[in-house]
Amino acid sequence: MAEYSNIGKRDIRVDAVKKVTGNCQYCDDLRLPGVLFGRVKRSPHPHAKLLKIDTSEAEKVYGVRAIVTAKDVPECRFGYGLKDRYLFARDKVRYVGEPVAAVAADTERIAEKAVELIKVTYEELPAVFDVNEAIKINPPVIIHPELPKYSRDIPSAKTDLGPNVSYHAKIRAGDVDKAFADTDLIVENEYKAELMHPCPLEGHNSAAKMEPDGKITVWSSSQNPNSTRAQIAAAFAMPVAKVRIITPYIGGAFGGKAMVQTEQIAVALAMKTNRPVKVRFTRSEVISNTYGRASYTARIKDGIKGGKIVARELRLILDHGGYSESGYLVPGNSKFAVVGTYDIPNVKYDAIGAYTNNPLGGAFRGFGTPEVHWAIESQMDVLADKLGVDPYEFRKKHLLKEGDTNPIGMKIHSIGVEECMDKVVHSLRQEKFEREKKNLKRGRGFAIYNKYSMAPTASAVIIKICEDGSVQVRTGAPDVGQGSETVFSQIAAEEFKMPIEKVKVFFGDTDLMPFDHGPISSRVTYCTGNAVRLACHDAINQMLQKAAKMLQTDQKDLDFNNGEIFFKQDPKKSIKIEQLFTPAALAGVFLDEGGELLGKGTFYQRTRGVDLETGKVVFESPICYYNYGAQGFEVEVDTETGVIRILKFYIASDVGKAINPGMIEAQLDAAMGQGIGIALYERMIRKEGKVMNSDFVDYKISTSAEIPKLDNIKRFIVEAPLKDGPYGAKGTGEGILVPTAPGLANAIYDAIKIRFTHLPITPEDVLKKLKEKGSR
Amino acid sequence: MRKIKLNVNGEMHELEIKDSRTLLEVIREDLNLTGAKFGCGSGECGACTMLVDGKPILSCLTLALEADGKEVTTVEGMAKDGELHPIQQAYIDEFAVQCGYCTSGLIMITKALLEENPNPTEEEVKEFIKGNLCRCTGYVKIIKAVLKAAEVMRRRG
């Protein structure tokens, strides 16, 4: 195995000191001279005609500087794959909370007061909240009658469903009907989950400023600056290059900041006032009005013959609410989850994204993968139970292996799932446990997962070798907290054979940094990491060329280490990087030719994706890689209160190569926070399309009190090297959230022999089911 | 408008403020100390936690004038003479920091805990900090950092 000096080390995070001292700047910390504050007027109705907006009373409020409505912005639809939205509602509103107008004022409080005084007249329309009604051929309500005319960047498969379907994704592998006809057992179940929210601690916020040359600068909390930039340009019918996005540090995102939120509103207000305008959503707006993970229903049917699954039919219906948002692409990407772990010859999959008048559903850590796994990984245990076999052995005989071709024709590579499962299950099972103690019933369970990383995708990086011998990494990928800044530092330090302290990463400015698709789809360690390497190689080559010229030798005679370039044959003959520069009179140093030592690199993973009607691979892999893993639990169910306590938590992830094991562990621990929350508490309670629990008291996310004893948490890092990953590495940012819910449900079943199929699994649900079971 | 005196991280400030302004607003906007964060604005997440006369408070719910004449400690007051506080060092060493948005508040609640109870058990840590939400870490490394800081601080006396 290769020996590395920086890769694989538990280097402390390069941003840690500023974060523990309060010196780390987030978007909300920024204070622009002359700034105004924006607030949004939102629709109280789930579906209504917009008849009149009267802003006259609001305009009279002292300190109000501008009010904008649809009339103030171009009539341009935009969207993430499907252009179905306007910035402000025009003819209709389609969900509770849809922006109708916005106010810029001297303070947030004044803006808030003015918003209340805007009078909007609506004519309420019938609404549809049940997605199964909505997708019918003749639905009660057609939410976007003009959908066939909307422009799409990414096409959908043909659908035989109704006019509220925004996207239909399919897999048709083998012949499921024929296979089902010849089976020993068919098992069919339905799994559901409620709408849930990413809830980053830093809410969505941004500030926009018009520049004298007509350009727009936007400071944003976006995790996807280039996409935000494109969406702003689309909403205002302007060239992308006119928009500059600056992203300081980001206070968590989890997919929730992948799509434009506050930014366009700030721009509209800045344009009208010609002053900088800041828009910061309240916590209630963040939870109610920025998208969560769409609520969904997954119906799964498996056919067994000779103890093996020979056919699997799965149908996932996602309710993305009034607009497709970042949810448009979820059904398509969810396909990869269906075929990433198990070798099943006949697979039929349909994933449907649909409009309702519910709140918006979109990207949230996993993007289609947790949805599919909630069904599949619960079902694997159900099947094993019906067959009377060990769920571990049952999974084992269906696992795809290195070099296999999966049902859609992808060659499987870097698959560490078996090792992950072995580590988790063996360590869980080798410990004793007491099944029952009065009203406390204990059980164990586990689940495994795959998580794709998207393609096509690109990252470009610039490396600068500085006059003091240090190295700069310039990237378009902001750090959302996962630690990419540290990963890029480690990679550059490795390539330059220098300590990490000599590397500085710069991110977050679309005018100054090269392109990056950003921290989405667990992609930056792999994609941007690869681009850092390529750019380092280019910079190192230039450095050696320059040194060879100065030393009057051939480049191939030279090597380098820790800022020194030396003769391979005679390492004592060396020069320092600093000596490549020429002193300027009384003004530092410069490079006597070529301007600067700038290395550049693009990592571009191209693909032609899959055939829309069959899901089959057309040419080249439709994804970058799969991250794999497993989670195992020991739980205790209190049959008197319904409370579920997690006693043991074991987690394994195949990361290809752990660039920083300390940060990988930190990512794995997140399953303890978000994973438990999603499985056991989190749901947005809706009433006629309105979110009833839009604060942290009623939308409960996990706290420190729910974490198992530290000694009962075990993490395993598995490394099945990825051929084209940097040092073999791949990402694990999203995958950790995937198996928590089914793993817990399997453990709960083991404890009380009740199968939960609807997330979250609350104490009320547990008591209800126990009562039903007892009375039967 | 009202005149108040605040001792913030050992520095005296005389300020004229509107009665309705929160301590978080005054500290962030008037004193330009932006370490304490706005997370929810309603005292539910703990990102704005500061110490007033040594006791942890939610500064988004506290009026600035309630702190008149008192000592306020924010995360910026933790490091002394260029040296990090053992709590800060423990958060770094244990990888307890991810996005960092909750970190300032958590460091302050940790300080409050360790002042009150220099040798907390794991359960006591979990209970004391449970009002400070974190969405990244799953709390595991934070709890470890608190226990480690406690140990270092006890050793140093």
Q: Which of A69, A61, A68, A72 is nearest to A111 (CA)?
A: A61
What the block records as the tokens of A91 is 């003819």
Q: Do the Cβ atoms of A21 and B142 come within 8 Å? A: no
End-to-end CA distance of chain A: 60
Across the interface, of B41, B103, B138, the residue whose CB is closest to A673 is B138
Inter-residue contact A687 to A96 (CB < 8 Å): no
Question: What digits encode the pLDDT tens for the residues B109-153?
Answer: 999 999 999 999 999 999 999 999 999 999 999 999 999 999 999
Cα A485 to Cα A513: distance, rounded to the nearest angstrom? 14
| A156 domain-assigned | no
Instruction: Please report the pLDDT score of residue A516 as a whole number.
Output: 98
Residue A412 shares a structural domain with residue A479: no
Last residue of a domain, one of A573, A605, A637: A605
Query: pLDDT band at A618, cuts 50/70/90?
Result: confident
Inter-residue contact A19 to A483 (CB < 8 Å): no
Inter-residue contact A424 to A651 (CB < 8 Å): yes
Instruction: Please report the pLDDT score of residue A647 as a whole number.
Output: 96
The residues, ordered by sequence, that sit 6+ positions from A195 with a Cβ below 8 Å of its Cβ are A292, A293, A294, A295, A319, A358, A359, A361, A683, A684, A686
Question: What digits encode the pLDDT tens for the residues A497-514?
Answer: 999 999 999 999 999 999
Last residue of a domain, one of A280, A306, A336: A280
Instruction: Please report the pLDDT score of residue A437 as a whole number.
Output: 87
Q: Do the Cβ atoms of B84 and A697 come within 8 Å? A: no
Q: Give residue for tokens 């009267």.
A: A54
Q: Do the Cβ atoms of B141 and A669 come within 8 Å? A: yes
Q: Which of A703, A282, A111 is nearest to B41 (CA)?
A: A282
Residue A226 belongs to domain spanning: 31-126+204-280
Q: Which residues of A touch B148 (CB under 8 A)?
A: none
Q: Which segment of A20-34, A601-615, A640-654 scores lowest on mean pLDDT?
A: A601-615
Q: To the nearest whole number, what is the mean pLDDT of chain A?
A: 97
Across the interface, of B34, B100, B127, the residue whose CB is closest to A705 is B127
Q: Give residue for tokens 């390492």.
A: A571
What the block records as the tokens of A128 is 């549809």
Instruction: Please report the pLDDT score of residue B72 as a whole number.
Output: 98
Q: Which residues of A touch B34 (CB under 8 A)?
A: 22, 25, 29
Question: What average pLDDT does the segment A516-530 reach?
Answer: 97
Strand partners, A308: A305
Q: Do the Cβ atoms of A695 and B44 come within 8 Å? A: yes
Question: What average pLDDT does the segment A639-646 reach?
Answer: 97
Question: What digits encode the pLDDT tens for the residues A364-382?
Answer: 999 999 999 999 999 999 9
Across the interface, of B41, B91, B143, the residue whose CB is closest to A282 is B41
Residue A492 shares a structural domain with residue A546: yes
Q: Do the Cβ atoms of B141 and A250 come within 8 Å? A: no
Give the residue from A108, A202, A704, A737 with the most B CB atoms within 10 Å of its CB, the best one to mutate: A704
Provide the angle, in degrees to the nearest 10, between the axes of the packed helices A225-235 and A263-273: 50
The residues, ordered by sequence, that sit 6+ positions from A442 with a Cβ below 8 Å of its Cβ are A433, A434, A435, A436, A634, A635, A636, A637, A647, A751
Question: What digits encode the pLDDT tens for the residues A130-156?
Answer: 999 999 999 999 999 999 999 999 999
Query: pLDDT band at A608, cuts 50/70/90?
Result: confident
CA A768 to chain centre: 34
Asked if residue A359 has a cis previous peptide bond (ω within 30° of 0), the answer is no
Instruction: Please report the pLDDT score of residue A579 as a whole number.
Output: 98
Instruction: Please report the pLDDT score of residue A153 as a whole number.
Output: 93
Using DSSP's 3-state secondary structure scheme, residue A671 falls into: helix
Domain with residue A764: its CATH number is 3.30.365.10
Q: Which residues of A touch B42 (CB under 8 A)?
A: 283, 695
Q: Do the Cβ atoms of A20 and B75 come within 8 Å? A: yes
Residue A450 shares a structural domain with residue A469: no
| A474 domain-assigned | yes
CB pairs under 8 A between A and B: 177
- Asked if residue A673 has pLDDT above 90, the reply is no
Q: Which residues of B touch A481 (CB under 8 A)?
A: 98-101, 136
Instruction: Please report the pLDDT score of residue A246 as a whole number.
Output: 98
DSSP B22: B
Residue A483 shares a structural domain with residue A334: no
Residue A671 shares a structural domain with residue A552: no
- Asked if residue A776 has pLDDT above 90, the reply is no
Q: Do the Cβ atoms of A24 and B122 come within 8 Å? A: no
A477–chain B nearest CA distance, Å? 14
Give the residue from B19, B97, B127 with the most A CB atoms within 10 Å of its CB, the best one to mutate: B97
Question: What are the CA-CA distances from residue A247 to residues A30, A90, A244, A478, A744 (Å)?
Answer: 11, 30, 10, 7, 37
Question: What average pLDDT does the segment A229-253 reach?
Answer: 97
- Asked if residue A624 has pLDDT above 60, the reply is yes
Cα A73 to Cα A56: distance, rounded to the nearest angstrom? 19
| A153 domain-assigned | no
The string of DSSP letters for A145-178 reads TTGGGS-BSSPPPP-SS-TTEEEEEEEEES-HHH
Cα A299 to Cα A297: distance, rounded to the nearest angstrom? 6
Q: Which residues of B touch A254 (CB under 8 A)?
A: 135
Question: What are the CA-CA distances from residue A663 to residues A667, A707, B134 (Å)?
Answer: 6, 19, 16
Residue of B nearest to A223 (CA): B99
Last residue of a domain, one of A605, A627, A646: A605
Q: Which of B116, B96, B97 is nearest to B51 (CA)?
A: B116
Cα A451 to Cα A230: distance, rounded to the nearest angstrom? 27
Q: Do the Cβ atoms of A202 and B35 come within 8 Å? A: no
Residue of B nearest to A22 (CA): B35
| A189 domain-assigned | no
Instruction: Please report the pLDDT score of residue A2 as a whole number.
Output: 67
Residue A413 shares a structural domain with residue A538: no
Residue A572 shares a structural domain with residue A435: no
Question: What digits encode the pLDDT tens for the residues A270-296?
Answer: 999 999 999 999 999 999 999 999 999
Residue A601 shares a structural domain with residue A556: yes
Question: What digits encode the pLDDT tens for the residues A213-225?
Answer: 999 999 999 999 9
Give the residue from B74, B101, B142, B146 with the most A CB atoms within 10 Å of its CB, the best one to mutate: B101
Q: Which residues of B touch A650 (CB under 8 A)?
A: none
Residue A614 shares a structural domain with residue A680: yes
Instruction: Please report the pLDDT score of residue A1 as a whole number.
Output: 55
Q: Do the Cβ atoms of B99 and A701 come within 8 Å? A: no
Q: Which residues of A touch B127 (CB under 8 A)?
A: 704-705
Residue of B nearest to A733 (CA): B136
- Asked if residue A253 has pLDDT above 60, the reply is yes
Question: What average pLDDT does the segment A661-687 reach?
Answer: 93
Q: A112-149 burial, b for 16+ CB within 10 Å, e for fewer? A: ebbbebbebebeebebbbebeebbeeebebebbeebee
**Stretch (H or E) spanning B143:** helix B140-156
DSSP A419: H
Q: Do the Cβ atoms of B88 and A21 come within 8 Å? A: yes
Q: Which residues of A are catalytic?
A: 734
| A638 domain-assigned | yes
Residue A461 shares a structural domain with residue A529: yes
pLDDT above 70 coverage of chain A, percent: 99
Residue A768 shares a structural domain with residue A658: yes
For chain B, domains (ranges, CATH) are: 2-76 (3.10.20.30), 86-156 (1.10.150.120)
Residue of A nearest to B33 (CA): A22
Inter-residue contact A139 to A128 (CB < 8 Å): yes
- Asked if residue A85 has pLDDT above 60, the reply is yes
Q: Which residues of B touch A701 (CB under 8 A)?
A: 133, 135
Strand partners, B22: B63
Cα A700 to Cα A688: distance, rounded to the nearest angstrom? 21
B120–chain A nearest CA distance, Å? 14
| A499 domain-assigned | yes
What the block records as the tokens of A190 is 């339905």
Q: Do the Cβ atoms of B135 and A203 come within 8 Å? A: no
Residue A551 shares a structural domain with residue A657: no
Counted domains in chain A: 3
Strand partners, A334: none
| A408 domain-assigned | yes
Query: pLDDT band at A201, cuts 50/70/90?
Result: very high
Cα A649 to Cα A708: distance, rounded to the nearest angstrom? 7
Inter-residue contact A259 to A221 (CB < 8 Å): no
Q: Do the Cβ atoms of A20 and B137 come within 8 Å? A: no
Residue of B nearest to A481 (CA): B99
Higher pLDDT, B128 or B82: B128
Cα A297 to Cα A286: distance, rounded to the nearest angstrom? 24
